[in-house]
Amino acid sequence: MRPVYAVSGGVSKFAKARPEKTFQAIVKEAYDYAIEDLGLEFRQFTELVDGSVASYFSDHFTRQLMAGIMAQDYLGLCPKPSHRVVGGGATGGICFQEGWKNVASGLMDICVAYGFETMSHVNTWKGNEFIALASDVSFDYPVGGFYSGYYAMMVTRHMKEFGTTVEQLATVSVKNHINAYHNPYAQKRNRYTIEDVRQAPMVAWPLTRLDICVMSDGAAAVILCSEAGLEKLEAASGKKVPRVRVTGIGRGTDAMRMADRPHQTLEEFLKHNALPHEANNQATLKYYEDLWGRGFRYPGIHSFRAGRMASKKAYEHSGITDPKLELDFVELHDAYTSSEIQTYEDMGLCRYGEGGPFATAGTTFVPGVEYGLDLVESPVCPVNPSGGLIACGHPVGATGLMQAVFAMWQLQGTVEQHFGDSTLQLEGARRGAIHSHAGTGTYVTVSILEAED
């Protein structure tokens, strides 16, 4: 496989509704921004780009089949090769990886991955119904299909297994919303307290409205290229592009019905799912022996095996053996505060069962930002420095690409240029991970991006 670079990106303004534009025109906002940031004219880029990958989650929201080609057509990319990808909430993350494959395989030198969702075309509760159709329509959806309900069941089990508290969940919401306060692309830029989160209307016990991401209209685009592609772009623009290389990709899956997921023994976990820094650490092995001894089984419904396997493969690909210490930041799929805590564990940032205390320690916060919280540890690996899905919004097909753009800007050191505010720029950030997650944990992607000199 050839080296692949993420060289430019764009994100449209995410909003509850963007009725002033059709989805194609919203994609064009992000696409044009990415071209302009490369220092190229539209026609120059059209001449150079080899093809694209399009992502959007739901034909129901657009009430339009083949919306991908409509965006391709509007962007002036016809007759270049393209295809649409879909995989629930991970659609954007999958799109990024399919773009990577196009370049890594040698099929393309320059590929643009773009994605969008326009969820405002139906009311919020119909939108929830569409999303719930991403659960088994024979056995799960008819019982009361509602994703917040599904995640809330995971929460109650996580709380029962590990003693996780609602205040720990709320801390994630406070952190991500306050981060987004400094991100002009974010849909929600509010400073909340833990009390605000807990006093918000209860949606599915114990998740309140501020534990849950909102629906959005928006788009994002990322330009990926090979070394040869990079040379072509730089020759055309006369401008040197900061090197951000995609050094690892991983993807995992799990059963559609979370009720069907296994309850594995420690031996099975160690054989199939453990990360090197867990399997090689005696204290962690003892901790897990005790955990399993108390009746814990893996993954059950409290853990995302797909997220663990995506992480494991991405880490293997990029040579990461202790992610908390080797990643400078993570942009992960916090559709729910609880799923951020679950994902800390899946990504090996902490041990299974320790996600709750890990959320409140301080390790995952952005240095220099005032959160109004008592944090006992200094930031080590900020999680969702952009504000994540909870605050930025979640236009599904764009979300994973939005993460890629924000991660790339972190590694380029260009956050201030794009945000007009340097608060969220992590000093000396060299390596970051992006994590995109579908369904109740059915498809998960993890990709690693690294700055190169």
Partner 1 sequence: MSESKKLPDKIQESDDGQILFSVPFPADLNAEALQALKGMQPIIIKQPYSIDYIHSYGQDSPFFAGLASRVLLGCRDLETGYTYANPRAHDMYSGQPTEWVQLPEQGRVHAFTVCHFGSEEFLPQTPFVLVLVEFDGTDTLLLSRLVGLSPDEASLEWIGMPIRARFLRNSKFKPTDIYFTPLE
Contacts with partner 1, residue ranges (CB under 8 A) = 19-20, 63, 123, 125-126, 128-129, 131-132, 137-140, 142-146, 148-150, 152-157, 159-160, 201-207, 255, 257-263, 301
In angstroms, give the least distance from the CB of 359 to partner 1.
18
Q: Rounded distance, CA 144 to CA 256, Å? A: 16
Interior CA angle at 315 toward 309 and 319, to 5°? 150
Entry field: residues in the chain: 453
Least Cβ distance, residue 261 to partner 1 (angstroms): 7
> Minimum CB separation from partner 1 for residue 4, in Å?
34
**Based on CB atoms, which residue is closest to partner 1, 3 or 149?**
149
Residue 142 or 184 having the CB closest to partner 1: 142
* Least Cβ distance, residue 126 to partner 1 (angstroms): 5
Nearer to partner 1, 261 or 351 (CB): 261
Whole-number minimum distance, CB 155 to partner 1, in Å?
Answer: 8
Provide, rounded to whole angstroms, the least separation between the CB of residue 441 and partner 1: 14
Q: State the helix-helix crossing angle for 91-104 and 396-412, rounded to 10 degrees.
A: 60
Pairing of strands 243-253, 443-452: antiparallel
Kind of pairing, strands 5-11 and 84-85?
unpaired
At its nearest, how many Å lie between partner 1 and the CB of residue 28? 15
Closest CA to 46 of 218, 236, 284: 236
Name 83's Cβ contacts closer than 8 Å, sequence gap at least 6.
53, 54, 68, 98
Residue with smaller CB distance to partner 1, 62 or 183: 62
Amino acid at 407: A
CB of 346 to partner 1, least distance (A): 18
State which residue, 123 or 199, has the beta carbon closest to partner 1: 123
Nearer to partner 1 by C-beta: 142 or 367?
142
Q: Closest CB to partner 1 among 3 and 206?
A: 206
Nearer to partner 1, 20 or 453 (CB): 20
